[in-house]
Amino acid sequence: MVEDLSALVYETDAFPSTEKAKEILAEEGIDTTSLNSWASEKLKGIKARQRMALARERRLAFEERFKTLGRSFSGTASALRKKVLDKIRILGESDPEGAQVFCRKFEDVPDEDLADLDAELSLLEELEGESEGFDEKGS
């Protein structure tokens, strides 16, 4: 830094040695120890701002990924809600009381529990199919 400052002050292309630069600057009344300390503090500040900017970029990237996942999950939940509602409607044709129970449950179920409700409805459909087959055999 001392060499660069000396070259800048005296407009030279060749850098003098560190000792020579310190001598020239001392003759001009420039204290290089305080200059080094000042420059070092400025560099620390610049590096800290760079780290902060990098951390901010990473945070924003994580937030964007999280939002994308949220939108994806929301779309999935929306599709699953429609699928469950369709199953409840079908159930309503053969078992209106059962459909009412599932409809009430459907209204209160959070998105994360939709898969469980869908599985329950699927099992109920299978059970109905088995009972219909059982009755057809005459038993």
Beta carbons within 8 Å of 87's beta carbon, 6+ residues apart: 118, 121, 122, 125
User: Domain for residue 50, yes or no?
Assistant: yes
Quote the percentage of the chain above a pLDDT of 70. 78
- Per the structure, the complete domain to which residue 95 belongs is given by 31-136
CA angle 58, 59, 64 (to 5 degrees): 95
Question: Which tens digits make up the pLDDT trace of 45-93?
Answer: 999 999 999 999 999 998 888 887 766 665 677 888 898 899 899 888 8
3-state helix, strand, coil in the chain (%, to 5): 85, 0, 15
Q: Is residue 127 part of a domain?
A: yes
Q: What is the pTM of this model?
A: 0.43
The answer to whether residue 79 is domain-embedded is yes
d(CA 62, CA 4): 41
Band of residue 16 on the pLDDT scale cut at 50, 70, 90: low
In a domain, 9, yes or no: no
pLDDT tens digits, one per residue of 26-45: 888 877 787 778 888 998 99
Number of domains observed in the structure of the chain: 1
Model pLDDT, residue 48: 93
